[in-house]
Chain A
Amino acid sequence: METRSGVSEEEEQMLREVSGLGHDITESLNVEMLRENANLNGESFSGKIGKFGSEYAKWYARYYIVPEKLMTAVDHNDLYVHDLDQYAVGSTNCIFIPFDKLLARGFSTGSGSVRTPQSISTAMALVAIIFQCQQNSQYGGVSGSKLDHDLAPYIAKSFAKHFHKGVLYFDENLPLEEHNITLGSLTLCNSHPRSYSFAVQETKIECLQAAESLIHNLNTMSSRAGGQIPFTSINYGTCTSLEGQMIIDSLLSATMNGLGSGETPVFPIQIFKCKRGVNQSPEDPNYDLFLKAVECSTKRLYPNFANLDAPFNLQYYDPTDPNTEFATMGCRTRVLADRHGRNRLSGKGNLSFNTINLVKLGIKHGIVNGRTVPHEVDFQRDLYHFLDIALNGLLHRYKIQARQPAKASDFMMREGVWEGGELLDSDESVEECLKHGSLSIGFIGLAECMKAMYGKHHAESEEVYATALELISSMRRYCDMKSEEHDLNITLMATPAEGLSGKFTKKDREVFGSIPGVTDREYYTNSFHVPVYYNLPAARKISLEAPFHELCNAGAISYIELDGNVRSNQTAFLKIVQYALSQNISYFSINHPIDRCGSCHYEGIIGDTCPICGTKETDVPMYRLRRVTGYLTGDYQTRFNAAKQAEVRDRVKHR
């Protein structure tokens, strides 16, 4: 229908929408939109500029790019397209960076070239720069899968440098062979004792300072649009050389020391890689570093723990190649396997993911609507219908991503951060490289889905549990089958869903009303997790969630909530971590409260009064650090969106 001005009604509606977007942003009217991402200050100028770009990009994708079926499913709350704002331009999600390669060869940032570092301090400074360059080539996380192995050679260089200095200072001018100048050389220690111990000391000091400045850098470079810090993760723990051990030790010490006024660093997310024979028993070479990681985690919530011994990770493990060790993007993304042969980590990543709202399917077909029996057949049919739509969306997006020229993700391709990119001409398409990445289908709210279908969630009944496990297995089989069919890595993701957990729920509640145990909270339970408000022993939660880790080959994490001061009870912490590993949980972490006094900066558990300086919360703000979906944020009361604030309140703690 034409209106008087000659503009169709549809066009007018679009115009209203697009101008409304701008108004909401400039006036900070839509707080939920502005707080969608806890690490982005959406109320700042740069945050708003970023929002203008991303909200319009979403709007454009919706009307001109995304397949209609997919968009309809999104509008009907059946599916979610993650990072829709990035869809039209064809950028990709996340990557594991081959730091070893980039550092050894040197690299170009685009505006300048960088030589191979000659010391650990320079190497760690360059790690931050590489992270920063890379994050502009994509939209999700950037991770180092083996930072200890990658950086070990630069400890050796620093040691040699300090040793030569020592020889001059102490006049220990005895003959020596250049190749003997290593950290572990007994001969050297005996022949040049003073220079040797001087060099060890200096290298240690240098390494710790370098680690501290790396962590400071990664918490202060607001280089992403909206003043956002890049989502960085570092994995370490398995390098058993003296050099590698020094790096692990320094990273942990630096993390425990904290930032400028001792506060807990939010980035990088740190993941300690656990491997039997390497760091899991007292006789293992890196066991003391594992204990230190536990201590650090009781103080700082990091590192989390990655399980190299879980059979589905172990099958790719080659002890001679640290690039085959399972590591993860902090948020949980796992990209180890590749049907095109790169069963290793660095140099590839996830391309994109779409998430299915399992809860709505449960409500539509379950006993919740007064039905006496759930309609399982209809549920299945619907599930496959949406799996198809989700997959077709990923494939459609993949086509856009694959046809992008290398120059669009300049640093990533030119420098071979994405393996093979360095062989491409700048106008050549990136398809051959991208096929090694993964396309993931995620899911959310298994617990509420089961509740709606059967009246109980999967932790409340053995029968329901078996059904839930079978449901997720069938989704995995679907992914495996489609991988074959399309010759692409199509994987199943236990969606973290920071911004999503509340969105699905809100819309479903508008349609179906508040259903107890289903839509009556402000969020849906993450992926396959047992609801945070459901009380059960820690061991039981772990053993219930463990089998899902193997099914979710695109990544999953399990958490245990501890209430209290774990700093003084590391025995309990260690035991829970090792129990989770023994149950083949792939990626594990323990949440516990860290409060920080706004007056004296004491960190620990704070009620309404600081136990150290006696200041009251009514006089000074107490910062309460909590974790959402893998990433830490500042004070959760000001940075989390409403749904996530509610989740934190509801968590049942294992006291």
Chain B
Amino acid sequence: MNICGYYPESINEGDDLRAVIFLSGCRHRCSGCFNPATWNFNYGEPFTEQRQQEIITEMANNQLLGGMTLAGGDPFFSADEAADFIDNVRAAIPNFSVWIYTGYIYEDLIVSVDSAEYRLLMKCQVVIDGPFIESLKNTSLPYRGSSNQRIIDIQSSIRYNDAVELTT
């Protein structure tokens, strides 16, 4: 798995101050994608154990961070590795909240409880879902690029068996 960006602090990818990690690789190919270079799984640098550890240490030492956000590409194309990374993070920073971006819609990700995608989803608190749709582009929406995308509270959605959106 490659990483193609890292913001140690950001207010633009979820509530609270969050670290943001961009994982390379995406097959959705949305037209008007903000950065098609990130589609390539070899884009950026390898997310080695050492680099992971560096970032985890930095996040653990930043007392203002409320959590991290995984963005891409689409982390769900590297679901197993992304889930393992979250495990590593939680081992060091137990109650760290994780938001995640995806070009899939929530309903697709929960189809099979045995899938790697489901496992990854269950490790996160919030998912911002759906492909970027150029005709629905709206940069004034918090945390999203187009109005079809939703900010979904994962645990509540599982409980109510329906996508529960966060109000922002």
Contact = CB atoms under 8 A, between A and B. Distances in A.
Interface of A: 537-539, 562-566, 568-569, 571-573, 575-576, 579, 602, 604-605, 607, 611-612, 654-655
B66 A607 contact: no
A616 to B, nearest CB: 14
Given A572-B11, A655-B7, A655-B12, A538 B17 contact: yes
Interface string B8-41: 1111101111001000000000000000000000
Given A564-B12, A654-B9, A576 B66 contact: no
A55 to B, nearest CB: 44
B10 to A, nearest CB: 4
Given A538-B9, A539-B64, A607 B16 contact: no
Contacts of B143: 568
A566 B64 CA distance: 15
Interface in B70-93: none
Given A539-B64, A605-B139, A607-B139, A571 B9 contact: no
Interface string B126-168: 0000000000001110110000000000000000000000001
A537 B9 contact: yes
B134 to A, nearest CB: 14
Contact of A562 (B8, B11, B20): B11
Contacts of A607: 139
A537 B62 contact: yes
B64 A568 contact: no
Sorting the interface of chain B by its residue count into under 10, 10 to 19, 20 to 34 or 35 or more gives 20 to 34
A654 B63 CA distance: 14
A536 to B, nearest CB: 9
Nearest to B17: A572
7 closest A-B pairs by beta carbon, nearest first, are A568-B142, A655-B10, A564-B12, A611-B139, A611-B140, A572-B17, A539-B64
Nearest to A536: B8
Given A538-B9, A572-B15, A572-B16, A565 B142 contact: yes
Give the secondary structure class of A's interface.
mixed
Contact of B11 (A564, A611, A612): A564
B12 A571 contact: no
A432 B128 CA distance: 66
B140 A576 contact: no
A571 B142 contact: no
A604 B16 CA distance: 18
Contacts of B20: 655
Question: Which of A569, A571, A573, A605 has most B Cβ within 10 Å?
Answer: A569
A655 B139 contact: no
B17 A565 contact: no
Give the secondary structure class of B's interface.
loop
B62 A539 contact: yes
B154 to A, nearest CB: 18
A539 B63 contact: yes
Nearest to A567: B142
Contacts of A566: 11
18 contacts: A537-B9, A537-B64, A539-B64, A563-B11, A563-B12, A568-B168, A569-B14, A569-B15, A572-B17, A575-B16, A576-B17, A579-B63, A604-B140, A611-B138, A654-B17, A655-B11, A655-B12, A655-B20
B64 A571 contact: no
A117 to B, nearest CB: 42
A572 B10 CA distance: 9
Contact of A564 (B8, B10, B63): B10
A571 B15 contact: yes
Nearest to B12: A564
Contacts of A579: 63-64
Contacts of A571: 15-16, 66
Contacts of B11: 562-566, 569, 572-573, 654-655
A576 B9 CA distance: 12
Nearest to B8: A537
Contacts of A611: 138-140
Nearest to A537: B62
Contacts of B63: 539, 579
Contacts of B14: 569
Contacts of B168: 568
Question: Which of B138, B139, B168 has most A Cβ within 10 Å?
Answer: B139
Nearest to B58: A537
B142 A572 contact: no
A538 B18 CA distance: 12
A611 B138 CA distance: 6
Given A569-B142, A654-B10, 20 more contacts: A537-B9, A537-B64, A539-B62, A563-B12, A564-B12, A566-B11, A569-B11, A571-B16, A572-B15, A573-B11, A575-B16, A575-B17, A575-B64, A575-B66, A607-B139, A611-B139, A612-B140, A654-B11, A655-B10, A655-B20
A573 B16 CA distance: 8
A605 B11 CA distance: 13
Question: Which of A605, A654, A655 has most B Cβ within 10 Å?
Answer: A655
B131 to A, nearest CB: 19
Contacts of B140: 602, 604, 611-612
A655 B7 CA distance: 8
Given A572-B17, A575-B17, A602-B140, A565 B12 contact: yes
Contacts of A538: 9, 17, 64
B62 to A, nearest CB: 5
Contacts of A537: 8-9, 62, 64
A576 B168 CA distance: 19
B138 A576 contact: no
A566 B17 CA distance: 10
Question: Which of B11, B17, B66 has most A Cβ within 10 Å?
Answer: B11
Nearest to A602: B140
A594 to B, nearest CB: 13
A276 to B, nearest CB: 19
A571 B99 CA distance: 15
B133 to A, nearest CB: 15
B16 A569 contact: yes
Contacts of B17: 538, 572, 575-576, 654
A564 B168 CA distance: 15
Contacts of A539: 62-64
Contacts of B66: 571-572, 575
